Amino acid sequence: MRNFWLLTKREWSERVWNRTFLWMLFIGPIICLLMLAFLFKAGDEGKKSINVLIVDPANLMDNRVMAQAEHEVHYYFIDDYVEIEEFRDGSRYQKFDAMVEINEKILINKKAFVFYRTNPSVDVKMQLKFQMERRIEELVVESFTNLSLEHFRRIKQPLIMDFRNVFDPKNESNDLESWVGFVFGALIFLFIGIYGMTILRSTAKEKSNRIVEVLLSAVKPRQLMMGKMTGIALAALFQILIWSLFIGLGLWIFRQTIFPDMLNPANWQGVQLAADVQSQVIATQEGLSSNPVLDLVYARIDYVWMSIHFVIFFIAAYYFYGAFFSMIGAMTGTESDGQQFVMPILLLLVFAILSGYMYIQYPDSTFAGWISYLPFTAPMVVMIQLAQGVPIESYYLIWIHLFIILLSAMLMLQIAGRLYKNGILQFGHRLRLTQIWRMFKS
């Protein structure tokens, strides 16, 4: 055991104090934060100010929408019919960004179409919807009731139909959370690919320069393999920890400096314009802002819960896949030979990532059921399930997935240990399948 920890410490020190590794400890989080900042901005993209043409042949709206001034949405009225093609191509309409059709039935069916040239931002869309809705309410009150507008708005109770899956009545599962799990799962396989190649290169290098002969004079081959894998695993976990701290600090700085206005409910145009607008309140009551990416990152991810499971399943999957990389490194003559043999393993990693996409798109398919229990793909599926929300009565399935991966990892480590023992001292030639089989049997 003492030799095992010495080998582990040697591998960890060799990786962590490498100049490239130290540079990536700082460059990696910076790149990730820049990508997140880009996504934050992209999530709020769209035109911030638009000119809207109200096509109102019956002059129902009396050439006005709201009494107060509109800063983002500017309205213009025309009491004539305008075809979509005419609005799209006509020179007199090119200054307008959107057109709203108001027909005679709008007071009955409460439906209007908005045709835009460039997709407006979420805030502008909500403001337009709110202002048009308020004006239609005024017309409905004037046409069909004897109530005052204030009294009508106090008693108004709009019907809100919320469609939900009977197996997910709390509506905890949605695409955004699923993609969070996909990102966590993809990171697991990304780090496995990077550090698995490190195992292969380190094993092949020590074998080619015959340092392994010196090491094997003091330790057993299985100890050498496990010490190498564990030391590299600790280096990977160290990098993940440092990256997490830097990215967490960066997100906190973003919230305090770059995005404070976007996270302030008082600044959400079209949402906080009136406290009694129930539809707008419901639309945003579960999030921080109308920007879905900001809402997701700052409000809807349980980082502690996801991080704990990320580390557990990363370790289990790392030893499972690491056994393959160790076998390839021990059985090949040079590092270049090992890179050829590693292609099937890399394809498995790519398949695992793609399986996450398929699981999100078709969660009830037979394929989704199979990949949930395959050790090659289970970490990806589990991270998606955890991000979506696993009911406490179904949480035992997560432990079943973990047990399958651990059992598969132990089996592969046993096979890898036998091949490692018989292949690490084979020099100068490439091994054939028959030789590999004889090495395994011995």
> Does residue 64 share a domain with residue 9?
no
- Assess if residue 164 is contained within a domain: no
Q: Identify the domain containing residue 124 by its residue range.
A: 50-155
> Does residue 26 share a domain with residue 61?
no
> Does residue 227 share a domain with residue 348?
yes
* Predicted TM-score of the model (pTM): 0.68
The residues that bridge with 55 in the sheet, in sequence order, are: 78, 101
- Assess if residue 171 is contained within a domain: no
Q: What confidence score (pLDDT) does residue 253 get?
A: 86
Amino acid (1-letter code) at residue 221: P
How far the first Cα of the chain sits from its last, in Å, is: 25
Q: What confidence score (pLDDT) does residue 169 get?
A: 52
The number of folded domains in the chain is 2
From the list 418, 399, 431, 225, the residue with the least C-alpha distance to 322 is 225
> Does residue 277 share a domain with residue 191?
yes
Radius of gyration of the chain (CA): 30
- Assess if residue 414 is contained within a domain: yes
> Does residue 257 share a domain with residue 314?
yes
From 155, 184, 202, the end of a domain falls on 155
> Does residue 192 share a domain with residue 81?
no
> Does residue 184 share a domain with residue 332?
yes
- Assess if residue 167 is contained within a domain: no
Q: What confidence score (pLDDT) does residue 336 get?
A: 61
- Assess if residue 163 is contained within a domain: no
Q: What confidence score (pLDDT) does residue 316 get?
A: 95
Task: Please give the angle made by the CA atoms of 182, 353 and 200, to the nearest 5 degrees.
Answer: 125
Amino acid (1-letter code) at residue 224: L
> Does residue 23 share a domain with residue 88?
no
> Does residue 61 share a domain with residue 198?
no
Q: Give CA–CA dist 180/388, Å, rounded.
A: 9
Q: For residues 46 and 126, is the Cβ–Cβ distance under 8 A?
A: no
- Assess if residue 89 is contained within a domain: yes
- Assess if residue 149 is contained within a domain: yes
From the list 345, 324, 337, 348, the residue with the least C-alpha distance to 432 is 337
Q: What confidence score (pLDDT) does residue 153 get?
A: 64
Full pLDDT tens readout for the chain, 442 residues: 677 788 788 888 888 888 888 888 889 889 888 888 777 776 655 566 788 888 888 888 888 776 554 567 888 888 888 888 888 888 888 889 888 888 777 777 777 888 888 777 766 777 788 788 888 877 777 777 777 767 666 666 554 444 555 455 555 445 677 888 899 999 999 999 999 988 888 887 877 777 777 777 777 878 888 888 999 999 999 999 999 999 989 888 887 877 665 555 554 444 444 434 444 444 444 444 556 667 777 777 888 899 999 999 999 999 999 998 888 877 775 656 656 677 888 899 999 999 998 888 888 788 888 888 999 999 999 999 998 888 888 889 999 999 999 999 999 988 888 877 776 666 544 445 454 445 555 5
Please give the backbone phi and psi of residue 163, each rounded to the nearest 5 degrees, phi first. Answer: -85, 125
> Does residue 411 share a domain with residue 291?
yes
- Assess if residue 316 is contained within a domain: yes
Torsion sign over Cα 105, 106, 109, 115: positive
From 126, 155, 184, the end of a domain falls on 155
Q: Give CA–CA dist 203/221, Å, rounded.
A: 11
> Does residue 54 share a domain with residue 35?
no
Note the helical H segments in 332-374: 335-341, 343-361, 366-371
Bridging pattern class, strands 113-116 and 98-101: antiparallel
Q: What confidence score (pLDDT) does residue 138 get?
A: 79
Structure tokens at 295: 């809402």
> Does residue 245 share a domain with residue 385?
yes
Q: Look up the CATH number of the domain holding residue 66.
A: 3.40.190.10
Q: What confidence score (pLDDT) does residue 285 get?
A: 40
Q: What confidence score (pLDDT) does residue 406 get?
A: 94
Residue 164 CB contacts under 8 Å (≥ 6 apart), including other chains: 170, 171
